[in-house]
Amino acid sequence: MKWLVLVHVLSALIGIGPTFFGHVLLRNNQTLEQLRHSMKLAGRLDFFPKIGGTIAVITGILLICLNDYGPVTQLWLIGSLVLYVLIQIVVIGFMAPTQKRLAKWVFDASNLSKVELPQEQRAILSRANSLYYVASAMGLLLFVFMIIKPN
């Protein structure tokens, strides 16, 4: 059972971890060339939530089924599931399309020689950064629920 807990915790960290770096990578005060590099790194980090998050959900369900954690109606269990779903909604429903819009302009061949980000793209970058903060805050709260297990 300890191994299952270990896999669950590690996969959760790996799955949610990159979210905590998103607002650093997509910060507002960087040059366009830095933003291009940051967006490439962010794209590489996108792989980890897909795998880690999936494994965390599967191992979490196994832990609940195989252990005596009490009723599934406990605040920390329901809260953890709701937070996980909300993080997915923010990331998949809002953040990914926002980043895709920004990346379309940033990596467009006609814009590669430009050195300044236009105001419209700055607004998109700011929105993406804000969404990362929202997802990070929810991720922290998720970890608090899982560690403290409030009733």
Q: Residue 131: pLDDT band by 50, 70, 90 thresholds? A: very high
pLDDT at 77: 86
Task: Provide the mean pLDDT of the chain.
Answer: 90
Query: What pLDDT sits at residue 92?
Result: 87
Entry field: residues in the chain: 151
The pLDDT tens digits for 77-118 are: 888 889 988 998 998 899 999 999 999 999 999 998 998 899
**Residues ≥6 apart with Cβ < 8 Å to 88:** 53
Q: Please count the other Cβ atoms lying within 10 Å of the Cβ belonging to residue 75.
A: 11
Percent of the chain whose pLDDT exceeds 70: 100
- Cα-based distances in Å from 114 to 87, 105, 124: 34, 11, 17
The answer to whether the beta carbons of residues 76 and 146 sit under 8 Å apart is yes
Asked whether 128 and 95 are in contact (CB, 8 A), the reply is: yes
pTM: 0.85
> Residue range 136-148: average pLDDT?
90
Domain ranges of the chain: 2-148
From the list 9, 10, 20, 15, the residue with the least C-alpha distance to 147 is 9
